[in-house]
Amino acid sequence: MSSLFSQRMCVENGEEEILMAEDHGPDLIHSQDFRRQCGISRSGLAYYHCEEEEEREHLIAHESLDYLPSHSKVYKKWIQEKTYRKEWDRWLLMGLIGTAVGLLGFLIHQIIDSLLKLKWNLVENYLQDGSIHMTWLCVLGSGLAMVVLSSGSVLFFCPAGSPCGLPEIIGYLNGTSIQHLFNIKTFLGTFVSCVLAVASGLFCGPEGPMIHLGALLGCGLSQLQSDTLGVHLPIFTRFRNSADKRSFITAGAGAGIASVFRAPIGGLLFTLEEVSSFWDIRLAWQTFFCCLMATFTMDLLSSSLYGFVYRGHFGFFEAEKRITFWVKNLLDINILAFVPTILLGMLGGLLGALFVSLNIKINKLRMQFFNSIQKLSRRKTSKLLETVLILVCTTTVTVYLPYFFPCTPVTSVRNYQLRNNSKIIDQFKREISEYSCSSSTWIGPDGVRYSNQTFNQAAALLVESGKQGITYLFKRGTHEEFGYTSLCTALTFYFILSCWTAGSAVASGLVIPMLFTGALYGRIIGLILVSIFGVQTDEYGAWIDPGLFAAIGAASFFSGVSRLTISLTVIMVEITNDVQSLLLIMLAVMVAKMIGDLFNTSLYSSLLKLKCIPYLDVEPFVCHRRKWLNLELFSAKDVMEPGVRVLHLKENIASLARLLASTSHGGFPVVCRPKPDHAEVFQGTIKRLELCMLLENEHIFEPETNDESFSSSPLLSYEKITVEKLPDLSRLTTLLNRYTTDPQYQQLFINLEPYINKSAMSVQAHFSLQRTYIIFRTLGLRHLTVVDPQNQVVGVITRKDLMPFPLEERLRLQLMAESCDLHFVGELRPERRQITPGPGTPPAPGERPPGATGPRGREAPPASPPAASRRLGLGPRRLPEPPPGRPPCPAGSGGAGSGR
């Protein structure tokens, strides 16, 4: 029974890892003739240009998911047994998920703030004494303890052995099964790693992990079962299906972004624009409610608790605490402000594309280096040491760099606020940003407390958390508080170190680094305008404020990296309360996205490709010889897998066991004969897991009968055959071995008719490939059966057949075959023109004598093309000519990667 498994040798610790073929194989069988004809196999396709064999295996290992449940007789019986109920339980779960995500977001923020305050309180005396080296040692020591625990919790505690984040959530919601993504250990490891990574001082934020944690809570609370803990609660069982599970995961991800920014509308739109692949108005309402509960819980707890100490005023939502980067002074906007806004949008698109390109190259080098280390323990230790190296560099920059900057008095802000008659209660109290600078205060004759407090500009930007630095940069009326030197220095180091940190072995987010980087160069542009036009005090020139352009720059860089538009605009308004600059933010976001799209895709799309996660985009884009192909000119048979293994309604037990043992397909088409003299036609599909569960129940086996009818054997329930993974793999192995070797099972059969999906989608072979892709993605299919006009199965299309690079390879082979045929015909015709047949010379085969006519006295049509052209059946398409100097297409050419 060794063929039941696909064996993958792992040299780590001298062990051999054996995985089921279900996890490392194609969905359906290949045709040997088809592979010889095309000179390409699925294992030879470099998906997403994955050059390493391990990366190809990693892509193939991802199984697809069916969005809709199997519409079988047992499923309909299960539905009939369910009493009709309103959606109160679904709304209850959405509220519980939102509350849990809000509570989790509150805990993460409180723990991070407490650890940061504790870390810098330890070195406060060293800073005041000017002992810069002791400060560096203490900060580095505490940071190392945090980052080692942070990286270790991901590498050695999480089942996946690496941090998971937004790309994995996007891939799962698109229909790709990713192992260990929603494991309880993954939840705990991600939580610990996120908190300690941000508190250690790395240039990262908690936003990305919060989205993953929110999705984890959405999955766990809706399913109420855990294989790790052995918990299977008998409530809310009707939500244990793929469609409802994805809905709750989508809502949990939106609640995660809503709680971390306190932006409920932004969280809703973020899931719509970036995360979810399946969306409807009902899910929008439920996600809206979930985001509302998450934000409400976060605000309610933050209103009275700070540092886990009760401060009073429970339920009193202060604007300064509730709005993440509150902008107090709104400015009147002049139409001239649109000019620097367009410049910021272009700069954001360019820098965003550069950030994506650098980060992908760094991650590729990181993967190549770590994959070259054979031993698993050494590989994980190397990843941990890399995070330690990043922390050492980050700590050195944040501690030593401000030492070279002088202390700057806080005067511009004080004078600006005095001119606006604002109360100064605590004159810009700064903690870490004071660094080694001193301050003193006094009460003036007007009763207002004055301060000549000085601060270190570089320390204000780099030493404190990125969240506090963004608050400083967004502040209005601080025209000259930060100079060119501090802004440019912080921009350079923050850009490089945040790009290096992203993708390391810690659970970290990029939203705070993106906002901070954009705010830095946005403030530089604003400072340039102040240097040109001076500090404007009248209402018509007040828009020349570096704080305003810092917010616009933050939005532009965020858009340049993520390519978000609608959700990003709403998030920026919600986190700043700056409705007045809405049009400027919209313009900057649009320009940044258009400029960035000229160079590469978004960071999340690039990470999906880098991690080889199968993802079907909204529209297929296939390029051949630098020209986009119109898929309406191709048909489903051009990309299908022929030679499909099919099952019958009445299947022999021994044959079925041998089929499961010798193949790794995720599903099989089921056929039957409507009449004895009729050909077998398509009836539906059945999944591999369902067949395995059926074979574990011998009491439904029946002896052979003379016809297709079966006795009234007991039916298995829908819950019993619908599983996400096999409960006992060793037991199934033993059963299949017995079924294939014991002669008694040669005489036993099983009735598959009650368990097949009779609503399985199918398309005809000549169906448009463009519309085939749309149907496959829109319905969230796992298998799409291809039939001929007589409804006979001729092939199957799976997700991996519609991926960009395999799709390009298949269509390129079709075009090359047609081009070869046309080249062959074109070579034959000149040779025939050179031969002048004499009188009485018989015509060549396929030709008519000169002057011969066809029916009705007209000249006969030319000879038909070779059989290869007729076999393609692609119809009259205009094919691109082969490049100059390329020799004629040889037999068997066009393998994977050729011609690229």
pLDDT of the residue at 838: 45
Q: Please check the confidence at residue 93 and state whether its pLDDT lies above 70.
A: yes
pLDDT of the residue at 821: 65
Check residues 582 and 180 and name the one with the higher pLDDT.
582
Residue-wise pLDDT for 782-820, tens only, equals: 899 999 999 999 999 998 888 887 888 888 888 877 777
Q: Please check the confidence at residue 606 and state whether its pLDDT lies above 50.
A: yes
Q: Please check the confidence at residue 90 and state whether its pLDDT lies above 70.
A: yes
Phi and psi at 432, nearest 5°, equal -75, -35
Q: Please check the confidence at residue 444 and state whether its pLDDT lies above 60.
A: no
pLDDT of the residue at 439: 58
pLDDT, mean over the chain: 79
pLDDT of the residue at 165: 84
- Amino acid identity, residue 878? R
Token pair of 752 as six digits: 């598959």
Q: Please check the confidence at residue 583 and state whether its pLDDT lies above 70.
A: yes
Token pair of 137 as six digits: 């040692």
Q: What is the pLDDT averaged over residues 73-79?
A: 88
pLDDT of the residue at 867: 38
pLDDT of the residue at 571: 94
Check residues 798 and 37 and name the one with the higher pLDDT.
798
Q: What percent of the chain has pLDDT over 70?
A: 78
Helix crossing, 729-741 with 653-662: angle to 10°? Answer: 130
Q: Please check the confidence at residue 861 and state whether its pLDDT lies above 70.
A: no
pLDDT of the residue at 565: 94
Residue-wise pLDDT for 170-216, tens only, equals: 999 998 888 888 989 999 999 999 999 999 999 999 988 999 999 99
Question: Which residues are registered as beta bridge partners of 793?
Answer: 787
- Rounded distance, CA 93 to CA 289, Å? 11
- Please count the other Cβ atoms lying within 10 Å of the Cβ belonging to residue 361: 11
Q: What percent of the chain has pLDDT over 90?
A: 42
What is the maximal distance between C-alpha atoms in the chain? 126
Burial code (b: 16+ CB inside 10 Å, e: under 16) for 535-559 equals eeeeeeebbbbbbbbbbbbbbbbbb
- Rounded distance, CA 217 to CA 300, Å? 20
Three-class DSSP category at 794: strand
- Rounded distance, CA 654 to CA 668, Å? 17
- Rounded distance, CA 535 to CA 526, Å? 11
- Rounded distance, CA 472 to CA 475, Å? 5
Token pair of 326 as six digits: 């509150």
- Rounded distance, CA 719 to CA 781, Å? 21
Within 327-375, residue ranges assigned H as helices are 338-371
| Eight-state DSSP code of residue 375 | S
- Please count the other Cβ atoms lying within 10 Å of the Cβ belonging to residue 796: 27
Q: What is the pLDDT averaged over residues 833-849?
A: 44
Q: What is the pLDDT averaged over residues 693-710?
A: 77
